[in-house]
A and B are shown apart, each in its own frame.
Chain A
């Protein structure tokens, strides 16, 4: 387990590093002058030159990459052009809002998706199973931003049940929760289907295994077999999926934050693009990518921990 964890950690670090290198190389690879794009057509040549120097874009690529790494390792992601603060501070201010949204979405979709998958597996082939199947596929296919806008249109604009914008008042948890309902609905809906499908598939696999037959031969109740015997195994691949899905959720969260005008990392990046606040965009992209890699790492480790066969290989 320890060895596995270390290996997995090493891999995560390498992947993050390469991802960062790719990000920086993009600046080099993409034709055109980033300074021109970032500063807009109205900028004077002198401004562009200054910007290039500021960003270190006038240096050779390798020097840029090396310098960049040096800075990232010390936690320095550059300076927020608008407020002159550290990018790290700017981004970290927004992280809790995005985390709350993602956490709420995962929680509700897991609470519904996992039992739904078990149910479909238990009644496989039935009409209910088929309906769950089609609904799952549909919920996976539907883009979250369409759900977000339709939800906004129906529940906020037309019915007025939920607030349209913001994250709620600071220090009023209930109000904040209230503001989370529609965004997390949009972000999590696809996940209900994803989890239901995944759990159903691995559940079916487990339920056909010999030890389940043995448990039945000992007269254990079907409920015990499903939730104590089978789900414990079927949940392992689902956990891995949850980790990978966080990346997907980050994408959905960006849309949800923009549609519902919620503070958060997605909204931050989006606004930073329109104000050409380049360091904030890059810093926030880096932090979210790192967060995503961390999530897959944690999910893999948790999954490994749930499986005694892996756990004991110290």
Chain B
């Protein structure tokens, strides 16, 4: 615990140590590591993720092709590893934008004038009124499928939630002693927000955002599955799954190979996020 003196902290009692001691945390870290390592070593499988080899179509798994090959003879294992790069990349970029946007808009809503707060709140709630898939479908009809569209959908789907949390926290921090005293000393608003309020928001928000990583991965994979995300032949997990679905009667392996990394990633990040939250900030247990 934080009130323990520093020198008594062994690895066993450290945060990482405690998370590793929980089966769910351990499993989560293991699965996430699997995905990260896959993304790192995607180039070392000896196959190209997109080069066609029509003679090697629908191979069952073997030592040469760990997950078999798809309808164009491409090595599924290689494609899955490359897909990890896309999934993690989108997760990283999109949550980053959402994080920063949610932080800024939330603070403006919580600290700014009442009318602006009401307006932003209405905007957040209206954005949340769209089922995510509907948002994606409507948006992509207008933009055409692309990775940017995926990122935009993720941001529109997640940012309002973060902004609402930040807003609520900002409002409660606004009336605390240290903020009031800073205000009475004539500190400008931006300084109060940057120095006194923001540092208190980042911790809880990081946990909240990291809990959403599986959601982001799901959105990316889902949009690619519907053909609304990356364009072929880019190997997104969703696209691999869709190819597998199209040829499900020819071979089960492409479908299995497309679904497997999605399962591993969503479960891994969820287990890790759950354990992290329980250890770092039990208050966030909405339970939800």
Chain A interfacial positions (CB closer than 8 Å to B): 14-16, 18-19, 21-23, 26-27, 30, 32, 34, 37-38, 134, 137-138, 140-143, 145-146, 149-150, 152-153, 157-158, 197-198, 200-202, 247-248, 250-251, 254-255, 258-259, 266, 269-270, 273, 278, 281-282, 285, 288-289, 292-293
Among the 9-residue stretches B49-57, B97-105, B170-178, B266-274, the one with 4 or more Cβ atoms under 8 Å from chain A is: B266-274
Among the 9-residue stretches B13-21, B88-96, B183-191, B220-228, the one with 4 or more Cβ atoms under 8 Å from chain A is: B220-228
For the complex, give the distance between the alpha carbons of A26 and B143 in Å.
Answer: 10
Chain A interface SS verdict (over half): helix
Q: CB < 8 Å: which of B126, B139, B222, B259 contacts A26?
A: B139
For the complex, give the distance between the alpha carbons of A254 and B143 in Å.
Answer: 20
Chain A's closest residue to B23 (CB) is A134
Tell me, yes or no, whether B140 is within 8 Å of chain A by CB.
yes
Q: A153 near B266 (CB under 8 angstroms)?
A: no
* Known contacts A32-B143, A153-B256; A141/B222 CB under 8 A: no
Q: A34 near B142 (CB under 8 angstroms)?
A: yes
Tell me, yes or no, whether B141 is within 8 Å of chain A by CB.
yes
Chain A's closest residue to B228 (CB) is A273
> How many Å from the CB of B237 to the closest CB on chain A?
9
Contacts of B140 on A, CB cut-off 8 Å? 273
Q: B288 near A293 (CB under 8 angstroms)?
A: no
Q: B125 near A15 (CB under 8 angstroms)?
A: yes
Q: B131 near A138 (CB under 8 angstroms)?
A: no
For the complex, give the distance between the alpha carbons of A30 and B135 in Å.
Answer: 14
9 contacts between A and B (CB under 8 A): A27-B142, A38-B142, A137-B271, A149-B255, A197-B287, A270-B226, A273-B140, A281-B137, A285-B137
Contacts of A281 on B, CB cut-off 8 Å? 137-138, 141
Q: Which of B116-149 contact A (CB under 8 A)?
A: 122-123, 125-127, 129-134, 137-144
Contacts of B221 on A, CB cut-off 8 Å? 143, 145-146
Q: B129 near A16 (CB under 8 angstroms)?
A: yes
> How many Å from the CB of B18 to the closest CB on chain A?
17
* Known contacts A153-B252, A289-B129; A143/B226 CB under 8 A: no
Q: B248 near A153 (CB under 8 angstroms)?
A: yes
Contacts of B114 on A, CB cut-off 8 Å? none
Q: Which of B249-267 contact A (CB under 8 A)?
A: 249, 252, 255-256, 258-259, 262-263, 266-267
